[in-house]
Amino acid sequence: MSFVTGVGLTSYGKHEGSSSLDLMSMAAELAIADAGLKRAEIDGILCGYSTVSPHIMLATVFAEHFGIRPAYAHAVQVGGATGLAMTMLAHHLVDAGVARHVLVVGGENRLTGQSRDASIQALAQVGHPDYEVTLGPTIPAYYGLVASRYMHEYGVTQEDLAEFAVLMRKHALMHPGAQFHEPITVADVMASKPVALPLKLLDCCPVSDGGAACVISRAPTGERQVRVRGCAQAHTHQHITAAPALSELGAEISIAKAKQAAGVAISDVRYAAVYDSFTITLAMLLEDLGLAKRGEAAARVRAGYFNGDGEMPLNTHGGLLSYGHCGVGGAMAHLVEAHLQMTGRAGTRQVRDASVALLHGDGGVLSSHVSMFLERVR
pLDDT at site 120: 77
CA distances from 7 to 42, 100, 115, 176 (A): 14, 16, 30, 17
Q: Please indicate, yes or no, if residue 62 is contained in any of the structural domains.
A: yes
Q: Rounded to the nearest 5 degrees, what angle is found at the Cα of 338, between the Cα atoms of 336 and 339? A: 65
Q: Do the strands 209-217 and 3-9 form a parallel or antiparallel pair, or are they unpaired?
A: antiparallel
Q: Are the beta carbons of 141 and 196 closer than 8 angstroms? A: yes
Give this prediction's pTM.
0.97
Count helices and strands in the chain by DSSP H and E runs: 11, 11
Q: Is residue 21 part of a domain?
A: yes
Nearest-angstrom CA–CA distance, 344 and 234:
31
Please report the pLDDT score of residue 237 as a whole number.
96
Report the alpha-carbon distance of residue 324 to residue 333 in Å, rounded. Answer: 9
pLDDT of residue 116: 78
Task: Report the domain count for the chain.
Answer: 1
Query: Looking at residue 109, which CATH number applies to its domain?
Result: 3.40.47.10
Question: Residue 38: which domain range?
Answer: 3-114+208-217
- What distance lies between CA 207 and its chain's CA centroid? 14
Q: Is residue 317 a part of any domain in this protein?
A: no
Phi, psi dihedrals of residue 5, rounded to the nearest 5°: -95, -15
Q: Is 285 helix (H, G, I), strand (E, B) or coil?
A: helix
Q: How far apart are CA 132 and CA 137, in angstroms?
A: 7
Element (H, E) at 101: strand 101-109
The helix or strand, by DSSP H or E, that contains position 83, with its residue range, turns out to be helix 82-95
Determine the angle formed by the axes of helices 328-342 and 82-95, rounding to 10 degrees: 60
Question: DSSP letter string over 234-284?
Answer: EE--SSGGG---GGG-HHHHHHHHHHHHHT--GGG--EEEE--SBHHHHHH
Residue 246 lies in a domain: no
Supply the DSSP symbol for 54.
-
Taking alpha carbons only, the member of 176, 206, 173 closest to residue 11 is: 176
303 CB burial (10 A radius; 0-12, 13-18, 19+): exposed
Task: Determine, yes or no, domain membership for 286.
Answer: no
User: Which of helix, strand or coil describes residue 65?
Assistant: helix
Sign for the pseudo-dihedral over CA of 134, 140, 142, 144: negative
Within-domain flag for 48: yes
Residue 110 lies in a domain: yes
CA angle, 119 as apex, 78 and 368 as ends, to 5°? Answer: 15
Tens-level pLDDT at each residue, the chain (378 residues) = 999 999 999 999 999 999 999 999 999 999 999 999 999 999 999 999 999 988 999 999 999 999 999 999 999 999 999 999 999 999 999 999 999 999 999 999 999 998 878 877 777 778 899 999 899 898 999 999 999 999 999 999 999 999 999 999 999 999 999 999 999 999 999 999 999 999 999 999 999 999 999 999 999 999 999 999 999 999 999 999 999 999 899 999 999 999 999 999 999 999 999 999 999 999 999 999 999 999 999 999 999 999 999 999 999 999 999 999 999 999 999 999 999 999 999 999 999 999 999 999 999 999 999 999 999 997
| Residue 86 belongs to some domain of the structure | yes
DSSP state letter for 347 = G
Q: 45 pairs with which residues across the strands?
A: 73, 103
d(CA 83, CA 61) in angstroms, rounded, equals 18
Residue 109: which H helix or E strand, with range?
strand 101-109
Q: Phi and psi of 120, rounded to 5°?
A: -65, -45
46-77 CB burial, b ≥16 within 10 A, e <16:
bbbbbbbbeeeebbbbbbebbebebeebbbbe
Comparing CA positions, the residue from 322, 319, 321 lying closest to residue 333 is 319
